[in-house]
Structure 1
Amino acid sequence: MTTFYFLQISFVLLCITRISTLDCNTLHFLHNKAIQENLQVLDQMGQQFPEQCQNEKIHFKFPEQFLKLREKEDVKASVQEILVQIFYIFTKNLTLAAWDGRALEKFQNGLNQKIEHLEACLTEKIQKKQLYSRREEIMRLKLKKHFLNIYNFLKDKKYSLCSWEIIRLEIRRCLQFIVKVTSRLRN
């Protein structure tokens, strides 16, 4: 009888392991849908871009190298870095942002779930002794610099309503870049 239960448990663990491996290999399917949902929630968080903020608009130069990534592992590492940086920004001094609290929480939770999933995939890679490539490290550093510029903009503007709305537009753009790059992976 004990052997029968042991076999059942082993079978379930084998299935779970196989499913989690498949998840890491189907990045574009899983994340494009989730990113699209996050884009919708990002739109639900606030209203249209405030007219009084039109003069303050700024364009942040997103690292073009991200858009040129072709290797699945490079994309995974970069997407994870982008999501971590977005999550970090959206946990800082949100008092002046006039956003729907429930939508903001849903946005943060969605980001956190995707970060954890990618972290598990990347941890699996590291456990297999496949450390980050030089290309992945360079891309991560460029992304960190990009998001540091965004964070510094918020600080310089004292987390004003307009600065948060500008950042919301920029984060929307970043999420759209993720969709664009991960969609290309399936082709």
Structure 2
Amino acid sequence: MNNRCILQLALLLCFSTTALSLSYNLLRLQQFNSSVECQKLLEQLNGRPADCLSDRMDFKIPKEIKHPQQFQKEHAAFVIYEMLKDIFHVFKKGYSNPDWNNTIVTDLLSELHQQMDLLNTTVVEKLGEENKRQAYSMIILRLKSYYVRIRMYLEAKLYSSCAWTVVRDELYWNFSFINRLTDKFQN
């Protein structure tokens, strides 16, 4: 009787590990495609006016995001989720560049929202509070500070066209970093 229970438990663990592994592979492909789509949408927004060069700013993205070697799959998923959520909030704030096509911004918000939902249902909810606490270490705090600097910059510049162009360029590169983190989903 005990042997049968142990066998059933072992099979359950094996199947759940395999299922989560397949989820990560699918998630990796979907996340990469979504990032590419978001970058295309950002490119479609008006380009940088020549007189905006003086508005450039280094928002200081955390080093761990640029070089994510130490991340495990689970933690990378949490970080990506937080990045997508913060990018969403930058654009969702309600202040957009009046020169931008609102349809493109709406499409970008929709793409971000879909990917956040997918990450949340595929990984974030399943991994539980313990992994969430580990992922919400100092890196998440530094990441949140990074996005606060972006929002404060927009506010200080009164949401000008140049400020939005600088922010758009910064967020464009965020998707390259997200793709590096997404590579952690590979087996």
The normalised TM-score by structure 2 is: 0.80
Structure 2: tracts of 5 or more residues without a match: 1-17
* Count of residue correspondences: 167
Counterpart of 2:50?
Answer: 51
- Return the alpha-carbon distance in structure 2 between the equivalents of residues 33 and 95 of structure 1: 25
- Return the alpha-carbon distance in structure 2 between the equivalents of residues 114 and 54 of structure 1: 32
Question: C-alpha root-mean-square deviation of aligned residues, in Å?
Answer: 2.2
Between 55-64 and 78-87, the greater mean CA deviation after superposition: 55-64
User: Partner amino acid for 1:117?
Assistant: L
Q: Does 1:41 align with 2:53?
A: no
User: Partner amino acid for 1:147?
Assistant: Y
Instruction: Please tell me whether the aligned partners of residues 63 and 146 of structure 1 are also in contact (alpha carbons under 8 angstroms).
Output: yes
Structure 1: tracts of 5 or more residues without a match: 1-17
The normalised TM-score by structure 1 is: 0.80
Q: Does 1:113 align with 2:114?
A: yes
- Return the alpha-carbon distance in structure 2 between the equivalents of residues 78 and 184 of structure 1: 11
Instruction: Please tell me whether the aligned partners of residues 93 and 159 of structure 1 are also in contact (alpha carbons under 8 angstroms).
Output: no
Offset at 1:103?
A: 1.0
- Return the alpha-carbon distance in structure 1 between the equivalents of residues 130 and 94 of structure 2: 37
Counterpart of 1:8?
Answer: none
Matches within 5 A, 1:21-170: 22-24=22-24, 26-44=26-44, 46-66=45-65, 67-68=67-68, 69-120=70-121, 121-126=123-128, 130-170=130-170
Offset at 1:95?
A: 4.3
Tell me: CA distance 1:24–1:174, structure 2 relative to 1, closer, same or farther (3 Å): same
- Return the alpha-carbon distance in structure 2 between the equivalents of residues 80 and 184 of structure 1: 14
- Return the alpha-carbon distance in structure 2 between the equivalents of residues 59 and 82 of structure 1: 17
Q: Which ranges of 4 or more aligned residues in structure 1 deviate by more than 6 Å?
A: 18-21
